[in-house]
């Protein structure tokens, strides 16, 4: 709730109150969706761990930066000018 000395939610116009309600509901929905996705992901990983035979090694899914190639020198070809 928005409460200050000068203004309270009771004094706001209905249009602004409705917008505040919509924003609050959107935020709750967003948090709930993130929570549900985290639960689903945890359940998926648990299921995969149970289904994986012991003979298979575990898979590392962490991000690895691609290997950088060493710098090389490239010769510049001389180009004849049009007027020569």
pLDDT at 30: 92
Domain enclosing residue 37, as ranges? 23-52
**Number of domains present in the structure of the chain:** 1
Report yes or no on 40 lying in a domain.
Answer: yes
Adjacent-strand bridge partners of 8: 3
Predicted TM-score (pTM) above 0.75: no
Quick check: is 64 in a domain? no
Q: Is residue 62 part of a domain?
A: no
Would residue 46 count as lying in a domain? yes
Taking 70 as the pLDDT cut, the residues of the chain under it are: 1-9, 53-64, 66, 71, 74, 78-84
- pLDDT attached to residue 18: 93
Token reading at 23: 């924003």
Q: What is the pLDDT of residue 79?
A: 60
Distances (CA, A) of 12 to 5, 22, 24, 70: 13, 15, 16, 64
Determine the Cα–Cα distance for residues 14 and 28; give it in Å rounded to an integer. Answer: 21
Angle at 56 between CA 53 and CA 60, to 5 degrees: 120
What does the pLDDT read at residue 51? 79
pLDDT at 49: 83
């Amino acid at each position: 709730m928005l409460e200050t000395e000068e203004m309270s939610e009771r004094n706001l116009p209905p249009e602004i109150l409705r917008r505040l309600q919509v924003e609050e509901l959107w935020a709750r929905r967003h948090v709930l969706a993130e929570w549900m996705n985290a639960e689903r992901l945890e359940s998926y990983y648990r299921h995969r761990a149970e289904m994986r035979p012991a003979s298979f090694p575990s898979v590392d899914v962490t991000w690895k930066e691609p290997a950088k190639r060493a710098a090389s020198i490239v010769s510049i070809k001389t180009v004849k000018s049009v007027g020569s």
